[in-house]
Chains A and B, each alone.
Chain A
Amino acid sequence: MTFFFQMLVTGIVVGSIYGLVALGFVLIYRASDALNLANGEFVLIGAYVCVTLVTAYKLPFIAALLITLVFSAFLGLAVERIVLRPLLNAPVISVIMATIGLSSLLAGAAHMIWGHQRKAFPQVFPSQPIEIGGIIVTPVYLWSFVIVIALLIIFSLFFKFSKIGIAMRAVADDQQAALSMGISVKAVYAITWAIASVVASVGGILLGNINGVSSTMAIIGLTVLPVVILGGLDSILGAIIGGFIIGILQSLAGGYLDPLVGGGLKEVAPFIVIILILMIKPHGLFGKGGIERV
């Protein structure tokens, strides 16, 4: 039974990072109806920038973190301005392809700048695992769990009460109506991309603290897709809950089923689940399906 609970807890803490990265997808989808397939590269670049600042420039972690967040915000703004804005009102496939192209472009740039070697973060979080009733949790995971919950609360409040948050919801709901109410849709897009990029790099820094930073990290962008789809593309709560569900599912599949089929099921299980979920609920668990008129 301890094994089961260990798997469950591991799943929850891994799921919280999934939720964090998924949040980036959802924010962008809500504002601009686009799925940012370059999200994994945002995660990667955030982690690389932070690790470089900490190791090569010997900055304290907090300073490096803040600089990284500012950098990511500008990266998000730049990407929105250069790549996404010319594609406003373009068909879905163009936007998907643009973000795929962007991911290839950013990955290439990251390889050119940082190479392929794995870079380790110096000790930021205490490494001594905490044991609760036979279940072992590493502090990094606990921290990421706390950060995810905090971000979830912040974003919920932000969307509910802040002026920008309300503007974002208005744009997501109806661009033209928002425009005619005096909301600058362009500004909202730009802010959304900046926020999404910042959220992704927070995820990258946490992941980097767990596994070290290397170019394979960008795969999280693909791993998280089932999470986003499961929760529904336009639901923040869905992203977080989807993150936990997929995290637990992967952990359990890895613990119980992988030894039976010879490994690898951990990565595939979420995709099998989303195909099944999509057949039943085509917009995910919490997503809204629009009414379509001819």
Chain B
Amino acid sequence: MRNPFVMECGNYKTAYSKDMALFSVPRMKIQILVLVLFFLLLPLFASSYVVGLLTLCAIASIGAIGLNILTGYTGQISIGVGAFLGVGGYTSAILTSTLGLSFWLALPLAGIATAIVGGLFGIPSLRLKGLYLAIATLAAQVIILFVISRWDSLTGGTAGMVLSRPSVGGFSFSSTMSYYYLCIVILILTAMYALNLVRTRTGRAFLAVRDRDVAAEIMGINLFKYKVMSFAISSFFVGIAGALLAHYTMIVSPELYSTHVSIEYLAMILVGGLGSVLGSILGAMFITLLPVALNYLINFLTVYMPDLYQLFSALSEFVFGGVIILFLIFEPGGLAHIWTNIKNYFRLWPFSH
């Protein structure tokens, strides 16, 4: 019987164009199609709770892919994603709730607004590197949240704003299932964009900046342009994710976009794998579902240890930190690398070399 996991058994490429191809083997196209079909058909037999969780995963994946463009592709650390999600969410809230604009216009506008804010805070990146840049983005986080919670007339201050689910024609995306489809479609578009980005001139410039920005500049890459651009592109997707999240939870308020959210997103791309689109999605699912899984575990264990429930919030914090550290020490490549290892294992099976 043919091994169903085999994708390719050697390098038979004869042209550079083949090396650059998105799908290295025709069968990959079918496999991805099957995977996408699986996620499209899932809501038909899954409970609405599961679909809701998957919607959150999909939204987080969009944001994580955005952050990965900045941190994984271009090598710039940002601890400000939480606030950028907030910018996206609030822009959409103001445009739809206050100004009565259609969601379909507000969504791209939220992305563009976040891209502008992100690009603005990306300007210091030309002179700042590593730790200093990380702190500058943290400062961005604090300042943006301060503005949001103080600009009462525009944002409703600490009370936040209420949003409604989008609709097209007479059809409203109010059900969990329909909103899930919306998010999945946007996720697929985002993933396609990010996958194709590395194949373009811009994407390669990003990678060059990541690997050694001084060398990249000597080679004629305009550092300022590409650094700000990566901030803007990344923030665009983060803003889209923020808007989608806001319309899903139907409320925006400053405490939803705390520094902890930024850290969660960083954890997603680290656990998933830096510079990998598949990794972003896996990491987003992992970090989103981790507290849910812990909750199940606690519910199961409280039968034997009743006072465990009070410890839950502390425990999830503890496990979250532990998971990050374990991944960094034992699998810096993240889930994407684990997946590659599994594939390689089966590719060579039953011979280990």
Which residues of B, 111-139, contact A by the 8 Å Cβ criterion? 124, 127-128, 130-132, 134-136, 138-139
A92-100, A158-166, A185-193, A202-210 - the one binding chain B: A92-100
* Chain A residues positioned under 8 Å from B188 (CB to CB): none
B318 is an interface residue with CB less than 8 A from chain A: yes
Q: Is the CB of B324 within 8 A of A108?
A: no
A262 is an interface residue with CB less than 8 A from chain B: yes
A105 is an interface residue with CB less than 8 A from chain B: yes
* Chain A residues positioned under 8 Å from B128 (CB to CB): 278, 282
Q: Is the CB of A112 within 8 A of B315?
A: yes
A90 to chain B, nearest CB (A): 7
Q: Is the CB of A261 within 8 A of B150?
A: yes
Q: Is the CB of A262 within 8 A of B150?
A: yes
A58-66, A146-154, A267-275 - the one binding chain B: A267-275
A-B contact pairs, 25 of them (CB 8 A): A29-B131, A87-B329, A92-B130, A92-B134, A93-B71, A96-B77, A98-B324, A100-B266, A101-B321, A101-B324, A104-B321, A105-B325, A106-B321, A107-B321, A108-B317, A109-B314, A111-B311, A112-B315, A225-B135, A262-B150, A272-B139, A278-B124, A278-B132, A283-B132, A293-B214
Among B134, B266, B328, the most chain A Cβ lie within 10 Å of the Cβ of B328
Q: Is the CB of A97 within 8 A of B328?
A: yes
B39-47, B141-149, B166-174, B243-251 - the one binding chain A: B141-149
A29 to chain B, nearest CB (A): 8
Q: Is the CB of A274 within 8 A of B313?
A: no
A24 is an interface residue with CB less than 8 A from chain B: no
Q: Is the CB of B77 within 8 A of A92?
A: yes
Q: Is the CB of A98 within 8 A of B127?
A: no
- Tally the A-B contacts, defined by beta carbons under 8 Å: 137
Q: How many residues of B contact A (CB 8 A)?
A: 46
Q: Is the CB of A104 within 8 A of B136?
A: no
Are A229 and B329 also in contact (CB < 8 A) when A105-B322, A111-B314 are?
no
Residues of A bordering B, CB below 8 Å = 29, 35, 83, 86-87, 90, 92-94, 96-98, 100-109, 111-112, 222, 225-226, 229, 233, 261-262, 264-265, 267-268, 271-272, 274-275, 278-279, 282-283, 292-294
A273 to chain B, nearest CB (A): 9
